[in-house]
Structure 1
Amino acid sequence: MSKPTPMDAWTTRTQSETSSLSGTTGVYTPTHTTSPADLASIPLPAPFSTDGGIGSAPEAGGTYMIRHLDTGKALSLSGGELVLQADTGIDGGWRWHCSESHDGWLSFRETVSGVYLGRDGWGGFQAKARNPDGWEKLLIRPREAGGCNIFAMDWWKLMAMSTRGTDGKLFETNTVTEASRWEFVRVSEFGG
Structure 2
Amino acid sequence: MTLPTDFEKYKCDTPTHTSVADDSTSESSSVGCPSLSSDMGLFNASPWNGGLYIIRDPKTGLAIALKEGTLGLFPDVYHRGSGGRWRCVENDCLWLGFKNAVSGAYIGHNNKGGFVAEAKRHNGWECFCARQHPCGGHVLLVKHWSGFLPMKIGGKDNKELVVDAERRGGTAWEFIRVDEPCDIA
TM-score under structure 1 normalisation? 0.67
User: What per-residue deviation string (whole Å, max 9, x for no partner) do you get for residues 99-151 of structure 1?
Assistant: 11122110110011000011111110110000000010111000101111111
Higher relative contact order (CA 8 A, sep 6+): 2
CA distance in 2, matches of 1:98, 1:135: 15
Q: Which residue of 2 aligns with 1:76?
A: 65
TM-score under structure 2 normalisation? 0.69
How many correspondences in the alignment? Answer: 140
Q: Which residue of 2 aligns with 1:135?
A: 125
1:119 aligns with 2:128: no
Q: Displacement of 1:91 after TM fit?
A: 3.8
The answer (yes or no) to whether the contact 2:83–2:101 under 8 Å persists in 1 is yes
Q: Which residue of 1 aligns with 2:43?
A: 54
1:63 aligns with 2:52: yes
Q: Which residue of 1 aligns with 2:7?
A: none
CA distance in 1, matches of 2:80, 2:51: 19
2:149 aligned to which of 159, 168, 188: 159
Q: Which residue of 2 aligns with 1:87?
A: 76
- Helix, strand or coil for the counterpart of 1:162? strand
Would you tell me which structure has more helix in proportion to its own residues? 1
Q: Note the residue ranges of structure 1 that are not aligned, 5 or more in a row.
A: 1-50
The answer (yes or no) to whether the contact 2:99–2:105 under 8 Å persists in 1 is yes
CA distance in 1, matches of 2:86, 2:80: 15
1:102 aligns with 2:92: yes
- Show the 5 A alignment for 1:140-151: 140-151=130-141
**Which residue type is aligned with residue 169 of structure 1?**
E
Q: Note the residue ranges of structure 2 that are not aligned, 5 or more in a row.
A: 1-39, 181-185
- Helix, strand or coil for the counterpart of 1:152? strand
The list of structure 1 runs, each at least 4 consecutive aligned residues, that deviate by more than 4 angstroms after superposition, is none
1:185 aligned to which of 160, 176, 183: 176
User: What per-residue deviation string (whole Å, max 9, x for no partner) do you get for residues 160-187 of structure 1?
Assistant: 1111275312110134435111011100
The answer (yes or no) to whether the contact 1:160–1:175 under 8 Å persists in 2 is no
Q: Displacement of 1:155 after TM fit?
A: 1.1
CA distance in 1, matches of 2:49, 2:85: 14
**Which residue type is aligned with residue 122 of structure 1?**
K
**Which residue type is aligned with residue 183 of structure 1?**
E
- Helix, strand or coil for the counterpart of 1:153? strand
CA distance in 2, matches of 1:87, 1:137: 26
The answer (yes or no) to whether the contact 2:41–2:177 under 8 Å persists in 1 is no
What is the alpha-carbon root mean square deviation over aligned residues? 2.1
